[in-house]
């Protein structure tokens, strides 16, 4: 049984002893066996519990529900019966949208959770026409918990769970004090994946998996955030992060944000382009006129226990071809995507770790973090498991 009741992790982050408990089907009329929009029922339940009872728990029985653009409210806890399916109600006009919003340019949303009980529930994005979709958008949220979630993707545009920032009453806020546990995505695009973190503090990830894309992106690249020099990542912890058939299990990329400390442990990748990607900071050309510096992460950060298995059909980024052994580059192929309109690449895995940030020249975006206990299988053409910027071979000679 994968229920949150009695589970210490959820109780560490949220208080569920609030308000009343309701059933979305019995009490509000949602139907888990038709194709009609169930969004009004869930929105009504959230509003009534928040307004009349200072919060509570909404239980969603097993079924298939059509849900979209739900705005969470403080002290609301949603329990979704295992094996249930949520089909996104799409936003018209090709505009960006999310299934759930947590504090979107609004007052703080605090003490909230969405969990699968007695198993996992699925958000099925595989047949959406508007691929500009996220499962969860977290902005101005404090004390949150997401668990027991599968995302069925189809190379859509954004990461399934995104951490951003919000502007409210002239101030900026970002997610803090939360946990994501037992979450996976399947058939994600190489440029996205399960989680993208632009900003956050005191966030923990445990048992997260990606089939396709990058499972966990600590990438503070949002243009406005870099221009304003706000946001960033601080006190981020991850344990048991895995990737299959994707681009990477973990990506570190500060852009021009001065980030804090992270701790990552037990990273595994199989048939992924790179197991762990660590990129140096830089200032975008469009921002060179601003008084900002290349970004970094705190040098007490660490990644330990990395294990990577070579594959031949991993997702690749073109700028990393220069790190692939020349003998393998003719195996790279282009693959069309249904939403982005541009080709992506597949081919042999490049390296267990690619660390182009390594160095002591902070002015040029270099920084050092600790890497410990790297192991790998199948990389027969490599003589080391961590490649750095100086290992690039831009043009291969014909004599191999």
DSSP string, 296-345: B--TT-EEEEEEEE--SSEEE-GGGGGGS-GGGGGG-EEE--TTT-S-EE
Of 267, 73, 102, the closest CA to residue 178 belongs to 102
| CB-based contact 215:250 (threshold 8 Å) | yes
State how far the Cα of 62 lies from the Cα of 130, in Å rounded to an integer.
26
Q: Can you give the pLDDT at residue 344? A: 86
Tens-digit pLDDT profile for residues 135-156: 999 999 999 999 999 999 999 9
State how far Cα 113 lies from the chain centre: 17
Report the C-alpha gap between 379 and 350 in whole angstroms: 8
Task: Over range 382-395, report the average pLDDT.
Answer: 97
What's the confidence (pLDDT) of residue 1?
37
pLDDT at 6 over 60: no
Element spanning 239, H or E: strand 232-244
Q: Whole-model pTM? A: 0.96
In the chain, how long is the greatest CA-to-CA distance?
76
Phi, psi at residue 93, to the nearest 5°?
A: 75, 15
Q: In whole angstroms, what is the distance from residue 301 CA to residue 250 CA?
A: 14
Pairwise CA distance, residues 43 & 283, whole Å: 42
Residue 58: pLDDT over 50? yes
What is the model's pLDDT at position 104? 87
pLDDT, tens only, 328-348:
999 999 988 777 666 789 999
Q: Which residues pair with 100 in a beta bridge?
A: 70, 136
State mean pLDDT over 379-394: 97
Structure tokens belonging to residue 230: 């706000």
pLDDT tens digits, 178-237 = 999 999 999 999 999 999 999 999 999 999 999 999 999 999 999 999 999 999 999 999
Cα Rg, the chain, nearest whole Å: 21
| Rounded Cα gap, residues 250 and 276, in angstroms | 5
Tally of CB atoms within 10 A around 78: 22
CA distance 103 to 72: 7
Instruction: Supply the pLDDT for residue 8.
Output: 74
Q: What share of the chain is helix, strand, coil (3-state, %, to 5)?
A: 10, 45, 40
Please tell me the distance from the alpha carbon of residue 25 to that of residue 272, in angstroms, as a whole number: 42
Residue 229 vs residues 71, 297, 299: alpha-carbon distances, Å: 27, 14, 20
CATH class for domain 8-389?
mainly beta
Identify the helix (H) or strand (E) that includes residue 41.
Answer: helix 39-52
Q: Do 112 and 75 contact (CB within 8 A), yes or no?
A: yes
Token match 């399916």: residue? Answer: 85
Terminal-residue alpha carbon distance, the chain: 55
CA pair distance 366, 296, nearest whole angstrom: 7
Q: Which of 350, 197, 219 is nearest to 278 (CA)?
A: 219
Each domain of the chain, given as residue ranges in start order, spans: 8-389
């Amino acid at each position: 049984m994968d229920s949150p009741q009695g589970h210490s992790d959820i109780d560490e982050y949220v208080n569920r002893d609030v308000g009343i408990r309701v059933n979305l089907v019995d009490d509000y009329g949602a139907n888990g066996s038709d194709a009609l929009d169930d969004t009004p029922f869930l929105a009504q339940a959230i509003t009534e519990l928040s307004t009349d009872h200072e919060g509570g728990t909404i239980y969603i029985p097993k079924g298939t529900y059509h849900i979209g653009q739900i705005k969470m409210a403080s002290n609301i806890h949603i329990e979704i019966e295992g094996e249930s399916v949520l089909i996104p109600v799409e936003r018209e006009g090709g505009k960006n949208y999310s299934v759930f919003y947590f504090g979107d340019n609004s007052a703080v949303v605090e003490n909230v959770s969405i969990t699968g009980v007695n198993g996992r529930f699925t958000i099925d994005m595989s047949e959406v026409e508007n691929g500009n979709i996220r499962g969860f958008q977290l902005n101005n949220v404090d004390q949150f918990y997401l668990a027991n979630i599968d995302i069925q993707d189809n190379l859509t545009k954004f990461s399934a769970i995104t951490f951003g920032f919000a502007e409210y009453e002239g101030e900026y806020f970002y997610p803090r004090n939360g946990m994501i546990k037992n979450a996976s995505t399947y058939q994600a695009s190489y440029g996205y994946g399960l989680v993208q973190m632009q900003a956050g503090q005191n966030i923990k990830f445990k048992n997260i998996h990606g089939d396709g894309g990058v499972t966990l992106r600590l990438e503070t690249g949002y243009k406005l955030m870099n221009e304003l020099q706000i946001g960033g990542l601080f006190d981020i912890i991850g344990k048991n992060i895995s990737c299959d058939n994707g681009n990477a299990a973990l990506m570190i990329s500060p852009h021009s944000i001065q980030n804090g400390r992270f701790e990552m442990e037990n990273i595994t990748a199989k048939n992924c382009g790179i197991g762990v990607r660590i990129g140096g900071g830089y200032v975008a050309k469009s921002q060179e006129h601003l008084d900002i510096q290349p970004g970094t992460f705190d040098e007490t950060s660490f990644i330990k226990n990395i294990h990577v298995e070579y594959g031949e059909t991993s997702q690749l980024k073109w700028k990393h071809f220069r790190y692939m052994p020349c003998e393998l580059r003719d195996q790279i192929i282009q693959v069309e995507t249904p939403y982005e309109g541009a080709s992506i690449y597949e081919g042999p895995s490049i390296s267990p770790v690619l660390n182009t940030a390594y160095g002591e020249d902070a002015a040029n975006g270099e920084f050092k973090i600790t890497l410990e206990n790297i192991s790998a299988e199948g990389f027969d053409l490599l003589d080391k498991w961590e490649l750095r910027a100086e290992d690039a071979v831009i043009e291969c000679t014909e004599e191999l």
